[in-house]
Amino acid sequence: MKGVLTYNKINGKVTIIFTNGHIYEGEWIDEHIHGQGKMTYANGNIYEGEWKENNRNGQCKMTFVNGDMYEGEYNDRTMNGRGTFIFINGNIYDGEWKNGKKDGQGRMTYANGSVYEGGWKENEKDGYGRSVEDGYWEKGVFMESVSQLPLIK
């Protein structure tokens, strides 16, 4: 560990190898992972970004061992806020996240080139959205074409 000893606490840039196999490189303040840092987990996942009192919190890039990658906001130790997830299969989701799930407005570009843009709820298309044709989705199911919906006045 390198850092400055202040009030019997290490502060500064550190490299820590945990007994569970995780490796942290980054800022350490008052006995906490806090600030910018990189954690390489024992399973191979890598989190690079902001930390707050030992929790992943803020802007980050998360690379998963299977090849998936997320770049965006992390809060409460998971994807929360705005972010982009690139799936190993070539799909790309750019939009809002809540508790680690697609939730809110977002755009999914599929590897085959098709696109869905609209509402999401707990990883399912939900509400109004645009796809091959305009329509309404509810809990992941396409309900009806916009051309069949009544006009809102």
The pLDDT, as a whole number, for residue 77 is 87
The pLDDT, as a whole number, for residue 64 is 98
- Pairwise CA distance, residues 136 & 39, whole Å: 41
List C-alpha distances in Å: 117 to 17, 51, 60, 95, 140: 43, 31, 24, 9, 13
| Separate counts of helices (H) and strands (E) for the chain | 0, 14
- Which domains, and CATH codes, for the chain? 1-54 (no CATH), 66-153 (2.20.110)
The pLDDT, as a whole number, for residue 5 is 42
Helix, strand, coil fractions of the chain, as percent rounded to 5: 0, 65, 35
Neighbour tally for 143: CB within 10 Å = 11
The pLDDT, as a whole number, for residue 133 is 46
DSSP assigned state of 133: S
Residue with tokens 């997830």: 85
What tokens were used for 17? 């190898």
Mean pLDDT by 10 residues, the chain (153 residues): 54 92 94 96 98 96 98 94 98 98 95 89 92 61 54 42
